[in-house]
Structure 1
Amino acid sequence: MKILDRYILTSFIKTFLSVFIVLMFILILQAIWLYIKDLAGKDLDMITIAKFMMYTIPVIVPLALPLSIILASIMVFGNMAENYEFAAMKSNGISLQRSMRTLIVVVCGLGITSFFFANTVIPWGHFKQGNLRRNIVNSKPAMAIGVGTFNQIGDINIKVGQKTGDRGQFLHDVIIHKKNVKRNGNYTVIKSEKGELKSSLKSNIIQLVLSNGNYYDDLFPEDAQKRRSSPFARSYFKTYTLNVDVSGINNVNLDEASVTDNHRMLKIHELQTSIDSFATKFNSNLKLYHETQYKRWAPEVLKERITDTIVKSEIAGNFISELKIYDQRRTIESTLTKVKQQRAALENRVFQLSEDLKRIAKHEIEVQKKFVLGAACIILFFIGAPLGAIIRKGGMGLPLVIATLFFLTFHFINIFAEKAAVEGAFPTWLGAWMGTLIIFPIGILLTYRATTDQGFFDLGGALESITSKFKKKPKHPSSAA
């Protein structure tokens, strides 16, 4: 390796690692802030928090890696152009492509490595982080009495309007739905103005003392007349103590892994297996549904349902007019009810089939995203390197702004394209590759313009062409005479 190649490679690696570490740190903090609702108030130890951060690292690599590559390439080549190092290289016959040769090999190797990383480590990170976050949410529910929403704690569903006190032990506007082991549903409702948690929040028994409230209990007497006259019983209380046993759900194993079928947690061969399974199930369900609908609504089947009397009456005229008023009303109501039922069944079936197609599309997109990460790293390098040589600015100022704009454009295009592909707007492979296909010609254009010293765009020529149209043309001497 020549001295020039070693110098460029060393500068790029140092800059890339520095940028990558900073971005990873920022994204980890952003992830913790995103899931702060799930983590806060759970009395988690440092080991659990460290595990969550460790599992988050592979998940955020698809964001940090491409952005680090384009930012590092802009900074390195922009700094070299700003210090006239490119001018010295060109004076000695070294072109931009020659100076990029070593980094092209390194970035291509990084892109290939990122594919294997996306197929192995990233699914593992999603698997570990998703299950850990789910277990954290379900752990220590005594500390998770939220404000404004219902929270399932033991055999009650509780909602509070406000929490006060140094430990949040004073509750206001309390609504409780209490379960009954003999009946399914919320048949017991307790409402009170105030409440207080007397026992420790870390205890397996929550003692809740309610004040100034009402107790509603639905009744189911055997006599129909009593059910109409006394549908529920209501009692007023000044103080009511409720003990809730949460020992069964307080002891949550944070290392338990019960969710394994999420598409982000699967490798390519597992995704292919899932796609084949879902497609086979979808086709069989669709075929069965078509056969069922045909058997129910085929013309020959409908003809058999019509009696000879109705057929003869229909030939003579409208058979409904021959019925009594009560029978006419009952017939029309029955017909409308059946039509509404069939319409609801069709809408439900369409919704189920569309959800099955979306699930298949998400798995297909996830397969393509394993390859997109490596390709995006390579293409973004071919955007950043010539762009740095064009703008001739190093450091973290302008290069950071330009790199962020390019990457956010690429990232948002991918997000919108993937969502549109899931909805069936276009093929799944196109949704996964849309952002990469858009930035690919930009990389070619920038490399060409940087090689030929044309700049990002010819602003002077564009302004000159525009202003020339507004300049007055000089009059001919003969016409002036």
Structure 2
Amino acid sequence: MRILDRYILSRFLFNFFSSFVILMFIFVFQTIWLFIDDFAGKGLDIFIIGKFLFYLMPNLMEKVIPLTVLLSSILTFGTFAENYEFAAMKASGISLQRAMLSLIIFVVFLGGLTFYFANNIIPISEMKIYNLRKNIAKVKPAAIITEGVFSDLEGTEMNMKVDRKYGEKDRFLENVIIHEKSKIKVNTTVIKAKSGELISSEKSDILQLVLKDGHYYSEMATKNNKDKKKHPYTKANFRTYTINKDLSDLNDVDLNEERDVSTDKMKNISRLSKDIDSLKENNVKVVTAFSKNIVNRMGAFVKLKEPDSLAAVAIAEKKKERDSLGTVVSTDSIVALFPSWQKKQILSSAKSATSNILTSIMGKKNELQLKYKIYRLHILSLHKKYALALSCIILFFVGAPLGAIIRKGGLGLPMVIAIILFLTYYFIGVFAGNYAKEGSIHPIIGAWLSTFIMLPLGVFLTRRATADRGLMSFGSIFDYFKRMFQKKDKNAVT
């Protein structure tokens, strides 16, 4: 390796690792701030919190590595241009592409390493996070309850408030208030107790809450409107009342619909490819079976036997029946073939059948939307792994020529420009991913959109930096419009 290549690579690596450490530090603190409600006041020791953050770090690298490449490339070439080192390279006959050669090789290697990381390390970290959160709830069930406020226990339709937690692992509770919701999300049951105890085992998924010296109040559901006005309820006093809750419901780790342990984020490319094919095939089977069921219930597309010639003549004569006044009655409508007293029954039956079919379709619609959303999430996760690796290379070709153009080093202007470009790249990816999840755009477009938007920007900046032009030449733009107006004047004179 030549001395110049070693020099450029060493400067880039210094900026790269320095930026990586600073940005990782910032993103870790941002993560702590996002999860402060899960950590604060729940009796977790430093080791568990550190372990949780350690498992979250691979997910942060999806944001940190592209931003680090962009920032370090701007810093490196901005410093070269500011100190006239880049001008000395050009004077020696070394072009921008030749100066970037060693860095291009490194960034391509970094893209491959990032792809390996996204395909193998991140799925494992997602699994570790899931298991850690589940184990925290088993070993420290009181961690899901916060003193002084109502804690919404996800998946249980229950809110709990305690004044104080004490004892070993905060298992003993004081002044417990529980609100339980009905199936229609209405608070119908209130339980109050002077004390309580949380009992759990690491070998069991059941959390047992034993309440002592309390009162139970529940509103009764009635079908009669007159009884509803009386507001019937049940009330009881108890010395001991035991509530059993499944811990798997209390640990809804993923906020998406998928509640299986193996979510799309926990799978590598080979697993995602197999699951995409199986999900697609299964969705087609469900839609086909449901369509056949609806068709059979409607009686649609039923083949009728073609009548012979004599039957056709009889039907034609029947269509010209006359009433008592001798007026021809049109019997083309099926309903018109029946007496008036039966028409209401037929229409009522048809209306009821149609309403039932529409209800079935609406109920199945939500299920199918969930299935296809899971299918789209798998496609999105698959292509995001490829897009992440390619984004490191593209953002390098955005940052390196941009640094040579702005000719400014340090952490001032380059940091601002890098953050603006990265936020543009990141939010485009977020919005495109959300649209892809809802089916507004194809998941492949949602995964690649932000990367493909940065690609022409990288080509544009590289061409301008190679030609030693500024970021935007207002003089050339002015000359272009001046020449255009001169041509119009000449045409008008002629």
TM range (shorter): 0.7 to 0.9
Matched, 1:436 2:454: no
1:60-93 per-residue CA deviation (whole Å, 9 max, x = no partner) reads 1111000000000000111111111112222222
CA distance in 2, matches of 1:229, 1:248: 36
Matched, 1:83 2:83: yes
Where does residue 346 of structure 1 map in the other structure?
361
Measure how far apart 1:303 and its partner are: 8.6
Q: Any residues of structure 2 matched to 1:226-245 within 5 Å, and which?
A: 232-235=232-235, 243-244=241-242
Matched, 1:116 2:116: yes
CA distance in 1, matches of 2:17, 2:398: 19
Q: Is the CA contact (8 Å cut-off) linking 2:220 and 2:233 kept in structure 1?
A: yes
CA distance in 1, matches of 2:435, 2:276: 19
Where does residue 433 of structure 2 map in the other structure?
418
Aligned length: 440
CA distance in 2, matches of 1:461, 1:75: 28
Q: Where in structure 2 are there 5+ consecutive unaligned residues?
A: 201-206, 252-258, 306-329, 486-494
Aligned-pair identity (%): 35
CA distance in 2, matches of 1:35, 1:436: 29
> Structure 1 stretch 100-109 or stretch 456-465: which is displaced more?
456-465
Where does residue 380 of structure 1 map in the other structure?
395
C-alpha change, 1:241 and 1:401, in structure 2 (3 Å) is farther
Where does residue 151 of structure 1 map in the other structure?
153
Measure how far apart 1:113 and its partner are: 1.5
Where does residue 69 of structure 1 map in the other structure?
69
Q: Is the CA contact (8 Å cut-off) linking 1:23 and 1:64 kept in structure 2?
A: yes
CA distance in 1, matches of 2:373, 2:61: 25
Measure how far apart 1:105 and its partner are: 0.7
Where does residue 473 of structure 2 map in the other structure?
458
SS of aligned partner of 2:100? helix
CA distance in 1, matches of 2:9, 2:209: 62
CA distance in 2, matches of 1:273, 1:90: 51
Where does residue 39 of structure 1 map in the other structure?
39
Measure how far apart 1:232 and its partner are: 4.6
Where does residue 285 of structure 2 map in the other structure?
284
1:260-282 per-residue CA deviation (whole Å, 9 max, x = no partner) reads 42011101110111111111211
C-alpha change, 1:218 and 1:101, in structure 2 (3 Å) is same
Q: Is the CA contact (8 Å cut-off) linking 1:410 and 1:439 kept in structure 2?
A: yes
Measure how far apart 1:362 and its partner are: 1.4
CA distance in 2, matches of 1:178, 1:109: 55
Where does residue 490 of structure 2 map in the other structure?
none
1:358-410 per-residue CA deviation (whole Å, 9 max, x = no partner) reads 22221112111121111100110011011001101111111111111111111
CA distance in 1, matches of 2:295, 2:235: 56
Question: What letter matches 1:272 in structure 2?
Answer: S
Q: Any residues of structure 2 matched to 1:154-165 within 5 Å, and which?
A: 157-160=158-161
Measure how far apart 1:122 and its partner are: 1.3
Where does residue 407 of structure 1 map in the other structure?
422
Q: Is the CA contact (8 Å cut-off) linking 1:390 and 1:455 kept in structure 2?
A: yes
Counterpart selection for 1:322 from 341, 345, 361: 341
Q: Is the CA contact (8 Å cut-off) linking 1:124 and 1:265 kept in structure 2?
A: yes
Measure how far apart 1:2 and its partner are: 1.6
CA distance in 1, matches of 2:297, 2:98: 73
C-alpha change, 1:299 and 1:177, in structure 2 (3 Å) is closer
Q: Any residues of structure 2 matched to 1:225-304 within 5 Å, and which?
A: 232-235=232-235, 243-244=241-242, 259-299=260-300
Question: What letter matches 1:297 in structure 2?
Answer: M
1:441-477 per-residue CA deviation (whole Å, 9 max, x = no partner) reads 111110110111111111344467789999xxxxxxx
Measure how far apart 1:214 and its partner are: 6.6
1:203-226 per-residue CA deviation (whole Å, 9 max, x = no partner) reads 97654655xx77337499xxx9xx
1:292-312 per-residue CA deviation (whole Å, 9 max, x = no partner) reads 2222223465999xxxxxx99
Where does residue 10 of structure 2 map in the other structure?
10
Question: What letter matches 1:387 in structure 2?
Answer: L
Q: Is the CA contact (8 Å cut-off) linking 1:140 and 1:249 kept in structure 2?
A: no
C-alpha change, 1:301 and 1:248, in structure 2 (3 Å) is closer
Question: What letter matches 1:73 in structure 2?
Answer: S
1:92-128 per-residue CA deviation (whole Å, 9 max, x = no partner) reads 2222112111111111111112111111111111221
CA distance in 2, matches of 1:188, 1:196: 21
C-alpha change, 1:228 and 1:16, in structure 2 (3 Å) is closer
SS of aligned partner of 1:261? coil
Q: Where in structure 1 are there 5+ consecutive unaligned residues?
A: 180-184, 305-310, 471-481
Where does residue 384 of structure 2 map in the other structure?
369
1:143-184 per-residue CA deviation (whole Å, 9 max, x = no partner) reads 533534543799x93444xx6579797769x454499xxxxx
SS of aligned partner of 1:406? helix
Measure how far apart 1:136 and its partner are: 3.3
SS of aligned partner of 1:393? coil
Measure how far apart 1:32 and its partner are: 2.6
SS of aligned partner of 1:396? coil
Question: What letter matches 1:457 in structure 2?
Answer: M
> Structure 1 stretch 37-46 or stretch 407-416: which is displaced more?
37-46
CA distance in 1, matches of 2:303, 2:220: 45
Where does residue 98 of structure 1 map in the other structure?
98
Where does residue 216 of structure 1 map in the other structure?
218
Counterpart selection for 1:427 from 436, 442, 457: 442
Q: CA RMSD in A?
A: 4.4
C-alpha change, 1:158 and 1:414, in structure 2 (3 Å) is closer
1:329-358 per-residue CA deviation (whole Å, 9 max, x = no partner) reads x76555443322211211222332232222
Q: Is the CA contact (8 Å cut-off) linking 2:181 and 2:188 kept in structure 1?
A: yes
- TM-score where L is the length of structure 1: 0.77
Matched, 1:389 2:401: no
Measure how far apart 1:12 and its partner are: 0.6
1:33-85 per-residue CA deviation (whole Å, 9 max, x = no partner) reads 22233333332233322221221111111110000000000001111111111
